[in-house]
Copies of this chain bind each other. A is one copy, B any other.
């Protein structure tokens, strides 16, 4: 059954389910449990007045209509019938990079409206926030949504990276919500998108527009979380996909006995994915960016740390291993940041001479680092520039760079007689494979509850909250549902002389339970091979309802 859909401007029609795999098809019909508070009559109970993470005065100025509003929790009430309901017109938008489960947030909103606000209309804005600004949308029907239930990807309405920033753009958004007569808008996105959602909510409130705005926490990177929002959706699935691959590579390493596998994992800003994958698989070496930054390690320090372990392993005749590296490693190393900044300036102001005289303009520290880098990385630093003339740090293949640096250092130790084995590196980058996988049972259920809850918040006329589902270690029936004031998650950053509101990314806490668990075990993992192979994600049977280690440890569950 192929849902019909206009195919203008390159937009993909929904895939005919006749072309679904057996597993995809079986997932469509998978029934999702709801937290019991959502299945019965409930009331919304406000908490105390909120403040912000930092700079409350500035946040109060930026959000005069919203600052201080309470977060709230849904609580069951005794009643023979469900709450009376009124029809709503709601819009939903996917913002930023894909994360498994996005379709279920939308199904959750849709089903809430079907169940408790009969006759409501749900619009999907196409291609991210640009769809709001350009008023590109479609009406989501039961028939249209059906094939996307429990499926990965954001292809139902696609996503986009545009932001609603300028006064003109806010005006466009206003026109759209007025035209569609929207009671509410759900923004599914990461830290930036939720900040944007709050700005929209403030704007609409300030102009007496009825449209309320609710956010939903999305990012595989896992860096949007707080006490009330214990995890962002997609993190669970993406980590399990990466961990499956890492586990396979580990068994390969052990079977072959001759390769060191350097695995780069997604996560530019925070190393949550790398930490979670380490806890799931027990690699020999794991680099956590936040630790590198806290200890102010240099690239040489990181290289030496890896090389020392390789040498110790060689003494017990292990010439193989697995090493996990966060994508954003370079960003965590202060000296690398300095070098890149200096190079950007030099390249912008003068031409680089063949003879290398330009190097005199580098500070001593940066020159030393530059000379330490492998040739290929030096070339990458000199050649590739983004449109603004900056080094494209994202394009640096950190895992290959580390292999080359480790090789060089091991050669040195070989000459010194402190290393006698043979080193062969293999590089991997696990990225795109994880963003659009079929969501795990956890992400499917969590997202559905986030969406269903968002529907409830909008029907109660709430705005500028992020849909919040908690108590995630308990059975689904006992999960809590509520909304957290977006302003309470905010701080300000000074940009171009102005205060900008931001939801700070949640970094790996070196004093947090997940990192401490890892730190207490890593020395053992380094020398012994306590590899664990999680295997492919299962949708039924053993392991199918496991939650991530990070979440379990943060919520105080036993590891």
A residues with a Cβ closer than 8 A to B are 9-10, 12, 15, 19-27, 98, 127, 151-155, 158-159, 241, 244-245, 247-252, 254-257, 261, 280, 282, 316-319, 426, 428, 432-438, 529-543, 546
A541 adjacent to B540 (CB under 8 Å): yes
**Contact flag A529-B12 (CB < 8 Å), given A244-B536, A536-B536:** yes
Closest chain B residue, CB of each to CB of A9: B317
Starting from the known contacts A152-B251, A155-B254, A539-B541, 4 additional A-B residue pairs (CB-CB under 8 Å) come to A10-B319, A23-B542, A248-B432, A249-B432
Q: What are the residues of chain B within 8 A of A25 when measuring CB–CB?
A: 542
Closest chain B residue, CB of each to CB of A250: B436
B536 adjacent to A159 (CB under 8 Å): no
Shortest CB distance A265–B (Å): 13
Determine which of B250, B316, B541 lies in contact with A10 in the assembled complex, contact meaning CB atoms within 8 Å: B316
Shortest CB distance A57–B (Å): 40
The residue in A153, A251, A254, A530 that gathers the most chain B C-beta atoms within 10 A of its C-beta is A251
A535 adjacent to B27 (CB under 8 Å): yes
Within the assembled complex, what's the spacing in Å between the Cα atoms of A317 and B12? Answer: 10
B542 adjacent to A26 (CB under 8 Å): yes
A153 adjacent to B432 (CB under 8 Å): no
Determine which of B22, B247, B426 lies in contact with A543 in the assembled complex, contact meaning CB atoms within 8 Å: B22
**Contact flag A10-B257 (CB < 8 Å), given A540-B540, A541-B540:** yes
Q: What are the residues of chain B within 8 A of A428 when measuring CB–CB?
A: 432-433
A23 adjacent to B535 (CB under 8 Å): yes
Q: What are the residues of chain B within 8 A of A26 when measuring CB–CB?
A: 541-543
Determine which of B255, B532, B538 lies in contact with A20 in the assembled complex, contact meaning CB atoms within 8 Å: B532
Q: What are the residues of chain B within 8 A of A257 when measuring CB–CB?
A: 10, 12, 127, 158
Q: Identify 28 residue pairs between A and B in the complex whose beta-carbon atoms are under 8 Å apart, listed by A's number.
A: A9-B317, A10-B316, A10-B317, A12-B254, A19-B530, A20-B533, A21-B280, A24-B533, A26-B542, A98-B251, A98-B255, A152-B533, A155-B255, A158-B256, A158-B257, A159-B255, A159-B256, A244-B536, A245-B245, A245-B433, A248-B432, A248-B433, A248-B435, A248-B437, A437-B535, A438-B536, A538-B538, A540-B540
How many copies of the shown chain assemble into the complex? 2
Closest chain B residue, CB of each to CB of A535: B23
Shortest CB distance A280–B (Å): 8
**Contact flag A536-B538 (CB < 8 Å), given A152-B251, A155-B251, A255-B159:** yes
Closest chain B residue, CB of each to CB of A240: B536
Within the assembled complex, what's the spacing in Å between the Cα atoms of A492 and B112? Answer: 70
Within the assembled complex, what's the spacing in Å between the Cα atoms of A26 and B152? Answer: 26
Closest chain B residue, CB of each to CB of A540: B541
Q: When A and B form their complex, which 8 residue pairs have the shortest distance between CB atoms, in order from nearest?
A: A10-B317, A23-B535, A22-B543, A153-B251, A536-B536, A26-B542, A251-B436, A154-B255
A532 adjacent to B254 (CB under 8 Å): no
Q: What are the residues of chain B within 8 A of A24 when measuring CB–CB?
A: 532-535
Shortest CB distance A416–B (Å): 22
Within the assembled complex, what's the spacing in Å between the Cα atoms of A285 and B244? Answer: 27
**Contact flag A533-B438 (CB < 8 Å), given A12-B254, A153-B254, A256-B98:** yes
Within the assembled complex, what's the spacing in Å between the Cα atoms of A542 and B540? Answer: 10
A153 adjacent to B535 (CB under 8 Å): no
Determine which of B27, B254, B318, B532 lies in contact with A19 in the assembled complex, contact meaning CB atoms within 8 Å: B532
Closest chain B residue, CB of each to CB of A434: B248
B535 adjacent to A538 (CB under 8 Å): no
Q: What are the residues of chain B within 8 A of A254 when measuring CB–CB?
A: 12, 153, 155
Q: What are the residues of chain B within 8 A of A152 when measuring CB–CB?
A: 248, 251, 533
**Contact flag A255-B158 (CB < 8 Å), given A152-B248, A533-B21:** yes
Within the assembled complex, what's the spacing in Å between the Cα atoms of A482 and B345? Answer: 72
The residue in A249, A254, A318 that gathers the most chain B C-beta atoms within 10 A of its C-beta is A254
Shortest CB distance A278–B (Å): 14
Within the assembled complex, what's the spacing in Å between the Cα atoms of A542 and B248? Answer: 23
Within the assembled complex, what's the spacing in Å between the Cα atoms of A158 and B257? Answer: 8
Shortest CB distance A468–B (Å): 26
Determine which of B155, B249, B535 lies in contact with A433 in the assembled complex, contact meaning CB atoms within 8 Å: B249
B542 adjacent to A22 (CB under 8 Å): yes
Closest chain B residue, CB of each to CB of A238: B248
Shortest CB distance A327–B (Å): 14
Q: What are the residues of chain B within 8 A of A155 when measuring CB–CB?
A: 251, 254-255
